[in-house]
Amino acid sequence: MRDARRSWGGCDEPLAFERGESVADAALGEAEAVGEALQRQGLVVGGAEEHKELEVAVRDSSVTLRLPFEGGLEKVPIVAERNRYFVGLMGLGVNTERQYPNYFAMIPTGPNPSSALTEGFFELAARQVPRPCTVAFVSADAEFAYNPIIGAAENARKYGFTVVDEETYQLSTSEFTPIIDSVASKDPDLLLLCSYLDDSIGLVQALRSSDWTPKMVGGAMIGPQSTAVKSALGPLLNGLVNYEYWLPVPSMMFTGVESLMKTYQLRAPAENADLIGSYMAPQAYAQMQVIEQAVTATGGLDDQVLAQYTRRESFDTVVGAVKFGIGGEWEHPRVIQVQFQNVTDADSEQFKHSYTQVVVAPAEYTSGEFHYPYPAGVAE
């Protein structure tokens, strides 16, 4: 059986595994290490439940590994109630309030996850001359947007920007021109967007059709990371600045990641997965490396022993060294800001190369120059 991650990011469909099959075969090449480790422990892999739960039978008991995409821990109270070892994938700030001690996050947002996504955006803006002064927020009225917008407001205060407008919309919205026109009437210097997939496309198209051009656009969009969104927008992406967790730039070619991405991209078309996978695949593979290393080092699957080890140790992964800190977040943040440049058409192949997505912050990962201000009109 193949990987059940059929949609972009693999977050909307239950993971599915067949009895007796290694986790390695079921994870698009992303879990060879943990599969081997689980097999060494004499485990039998069972079927996934509706809650995206992987039950691993260990003689007459079981250990649950939950691999969530987003949402708060209040959605999975069974984990805390049973005091399980919990390695999450893409949830932003889901443990900030609960502080469940056995939770660990695989996104590199650090001890202040809500603000980490957009801090680089505001830091970049604050360095421009003449300095921009005002910002508007446009976000989906959805759970995934709440924490990033809270963090954006914190960063606006930190870097001395005045928030002149805050607009929200339903995810069912299909016409974004009225929203862009409303924001344009306040003429903010910066436009911070927190959007998902189709709405990212609609917002950028509406902005590019407008006579109004802010000086900087992007920030917290969950959309431009998707190859389908990239191809839909093509050159309209040029100038946009947005967060990412990993890209194939020289400073981020950690051990094993090049081979992983080559394998992933070769298999992705047949699996109907995202064709490039830069946003999800490295983090997912690293997630399984953390589990594999913890299981191997501790010699078992005791939840408390695994959690204690994971809190204490550093892990060598395809996204570099990972050390967990407060609340199970990364000890140090490593969110990058990326600017789209040199996008010529809708061909997805160009997005495999770093010249179309230039890392512009933080300094230690920069791969090219930041182009400011945001270009007016439709890019040629």
pLDDT digits (tens, 9 = 90+) for 263-298: 999 999 999 999 999 999 999 999 999 999 999 999
Residue 37 has what pLDDT?
A: 45
Write out the E strands in 301-356: 314-317, 320-323, 336-340
Cα(106)–Cα(89) distance, integer angstroms: 5
pLDDT, residue 97, reads 85
Residue 13 pLDDT greater than 80, yes or no: no
Strand 336-340 with 241-244, pairing: antiparallel
* pLDDT recorded at residue 21: 32
User: Is there a contact between 102 and 85 (Cβ–Cβ < 8 Å)?
Assistant: yes
Query: 339: pLDDT confidence band, cut at 50, 70 and 90?
Result: very high
Where does CATH 3.40.50.2300 sit in the chain? 113-250+338-365
Classify 192 as helix, strand or coil: strand
60 contact partners, CB below 8 Å, separation of at least 6: none
70 Rama sector, left if φ>0, alpha if ψ -120 to 50, beta otherwise? beta
Q: Which residues contact 166 (CB under 8 A, 6 or more apart)?
A: 136, 137, 138, 139, 149
Which CATH fold topology does 113-250+338-365 show? Answer: Rossmann fold (3.40.50)
User: Residue 306 in 3-state DSSP?
Assistant: helix
User: Residue range 59-67: average pLDDT?
Assistant: 41
**Mean pLDDT value of segment 304-326:** 97
Mean pLDDT of all residues in 184-204: 98
282's enclosing H/E stretch is helix 281-298
Percent of the chain with pLDDT strictly greater than 70: 79
How many residues appear in the chain?
A: 380
The pLDDT-based confidence of 77 (bands split at 50, 70, 90) is: low
Tell me the mean pLDDT in the region 227-245: 98
pLDDT: is 336 or 26 the higher one? 336
Q: Confidence class of residue 326 from pLDDT cuts 50, 70 and 90?
A: very high
Using DSSP bridges, classify how beta strands 357-361 and 336-340 pair: parallel, antiparallel or unpaired: antiparallel
User: What is the average pLDDT across 30-57?
Assistant: 38
Contact 217, 239 (CB under 8 A): yes
Least reliable range by pLDDT among 71-80, 161-170, 314-323, 348-357: 71-80
* pTM for this entry: 0.82
Share the mean pLDDT of the chain. Answer: 84
Q: What is the mean pLDDT of residues 184-189?
A: 98
Sign of CA dihedral 291, 297, 300, 304: negative
**pLDDT reported for residue 377:** 58
Mean pLDDT of 60-68: 42
Return the pLDDT at 73.
54
Give the pLDDT of residue 51.
34
pLDDT band, residue 8 (cuts 50/70/90): very low
Sequence-ordered list of residues with C-beta below 8 angstroms from that of 57, at least 6 positions apart, any chain: 43, 44, 45, 46
By CB atoms closer than 10 A (0-12, 13-18, 19+), residue 20 is exposed
**What CA–CA distance (Å, rounded) separates 90 from 281?**
11
pLDDT value of residue 76: 52
Structure confidence at residue 376 (pLDDT): 75
CB 357, CB 367: distance < 8 Å:
no
Strand locations in 59-196, DSSP E? Answer: 61-66, 86-88, 103-105, 134-140, 162-169, 190-194
CATH level 2 (architecture), domain 8-105+255-318: 3-Layer(aba) Sandwich (3.40)
With a cut of 90, say whether residue 7 has pLDDT above it.
Answer: no
